[in-house]
Amino acid sequence: MDLRSRLLHLGLRRASELEPRPPRRRSVPLEAVVAGEWRTTPAGQCFVAEQRFSLAYTHGRYRLSEALSVPPHVWALALGDPAAEPFDVRRAAYLDIETSGLSRSGGTVAFLIGLGSFEGDKFVLRQFFMPDYGEEPATLHLAGEVLGAADGLVSFNGRSFDWPILEMRYILAGQQPPLDPRQHLDLLLIARRLWRRRLASCALSALEHPLLGLERDQRDVPGYLIPGLYNAYVQQGDAEPMADVFYHNAMDIVSLVTLTARVGHTLQAEAPAADPYRDPLALGILYERSGRPAEAVRALREAARSPDDTIATDAGRRLALLLRRTGEHDAAMAVWQELWARGDVPAAIELAKQYEHRQRDAAAALTTVDGAIARLEAGIAGLTRYEHRRLLRDLHHRRGRLMRRLERQAARRPAGEPSPRPTQEEEASSGR
């Protein structure tokens, strides 16, 4: 029995035998609660809502126009590629979708595609809503017209979530994805690099208050409720809860614009640093990875002045390694000496290397190593047992080697010449 016969045998009916589905009774129609219009295409129907914002529109602390004041070359830092082409946020589409679930398998659909773009002296927000699963081709087609006109994408977690889902839906619908987003500014990635040391969470909702000065009102609906609300709409036709989903999506997109402004100002060091040490630390790391050592050194020096020991030590270690890599050995030594004066054992190990190999002073290296061993044995908070054991093993290995080197040097030294090993008094006064 072939597959067709087996399915018919199981009771499946041919499409031509099916009763047409009666029009769904809609207790509250969508157009009654969301300003927009129904659009009919050869592929089906889609509801489109459009809002136009003046560039002076203020969302939290920022005006929409402030996103446009960031020069395109600044975004190379955010894209993590110093060779990246300048990114023009004025020509990009701001994307946020609402879906029927979290999975990125073929079963998850984007029922609401929100797209914002700068057009003349306005920011235009368009939301493409799929009223039923069968209307997906029309929704994709209409959203595709806006996407196709854009040059680049701005999103929040869109590299992992929004775009892969959308791309998959276009492919499954037999349509060509309208955009090749090689230029994709994913604000989640850059927000994490900039602020994860300062904020407990880098979710968009968690960034809005501290960074954008924004509070959402009662209408906003938590994201995890959205798939359920949509399924209820498809089953029962009550559009009232959908109004809140449209609002949530619109807020997300407008927040994308002002977050773009905030990120841009931070990258240009123009935003008031809410944290005068963590922010420069994050910027320093960003500069370092982008191959801009001079700016990295400047930012890391600022962060290394933090009264918070964790921040100062992190910044100091990075700063010293960067200085060494760029050949500024004396400056690196000065930073490690400062760190070691505060009791940082890894800094003592780096100092011992410098004393031994650059200054040819094995005695100073040994003194530093002895000091580090004593410090470790006295106990250091915050070290795991594994780290403690590894540091101690390394230090004892180094100590043994230095001792053997000093013994060999002493054996070669003519009788009567003093040992370079410092006396106990010298050792105590050196502070090492």
Partner DNA sequence: GGCGTGTAATGGAAACCCGA
Partner DNA sequence: TCGGGTTTCCATTACACGCC
Instruction: List residues binding DNA (CB under 7 A).
Output: 80, 96-99, 101-105, 156-157, 159-162, 164, 188-189, 192-193, 196, 201-206, 223-224, 226-227, 252, 285, 321, 324-325, 350, 352-354, 356-357, 360, 386-387, 397-398, 401, 405, 408-409
Count Cα atoms within 13 angstroms, Cβ side, for 367. 20
Distance in Å, CB of 195 to DNA, minimum: 9
Distance in Å, CB of 216 to DNA, minimum: 12
Radius of gyration, alpha carbons of the chain = 31
Q: Write the CA distances from 145 to 35, 93, 139, integer angstroms.
A: 21, 11, 10
Distance in Å, CB of 202 to DNA, minimum: 3
Distance in Å, CB of 112 to DNA, minimum: 8
By beta-carbon proximity to DNA, the closer residue of 17 and 217 is 217
Distance in Å, CB of 89 to DNA, minimum: 18
By beta-carbon proximity to DNA, the closer residue of 227 and 241 is 227
By beta-carbon proximity to DNA, the closer residue of 73 and 196 is 196
| 382-389, long-range: CB < 8 A, 24+ apart | none
DSSP per position, 105-130: STT--EEEEEEEEEETTEEEEEEEE-
Q: How far, in Å, CA of 46 to CA of 269, rounded?
A: 44
By beta-carbon proximity to DNA, the closer residue of 10 and 200 is 200
| 96 SS3 class | strand
By beta-carbon proximity to DNA, the closer residue of 52 and 325 is 325
Q: How far, in Å, CA of 396 to CA of 376, rounded?
A: 11
Q: 31 Cβ partners below 8 Å, 6+ apart?
A: 37, 38, 47
Q: How far, in Å, CA of 349 to CA of 338, rounded?
A: 13
Q: How far, in Å, CA of 175 to CA of 181, rounded?
A: 16
Distance in Å, CB of 339 to DNA, minimum: 15
By beta-carbon proximity to DNA, the closer residue of 65 and 370 is 370
By beta-carbon proximity to DNA, the closer residue of 4 and 104 is 104
Distance in Å, CB of 277 to DNA, minimum: 16
Q: 230 Cβ partners below 8 Å, 6+ apart?
A: 98, 100, 111, 112, 242, 245
Tokens 């300062």 locate to 198
Distance in Å, CB of 121 to DNA, minimum: 28
Distance in Å, CB of 299 to DNA, minimum: 15
Residue 115: phi and psi, rounded to 5, are -135, 130
Q: Which two tokens stand for residue 100?
A: 């029927």
Closest CA to 72 of 185, 157, 162: 185
In terms of phi and psi (left: phi > 0; alpha: psi -120 to 50; beta: otherwise), the region of 360 is left
By beta-carbon proximity to DNA, the closer residue of 56 and 200 is 200
By beta-carbon proximity to DNA, the closer residue of 55 and 227 is 227
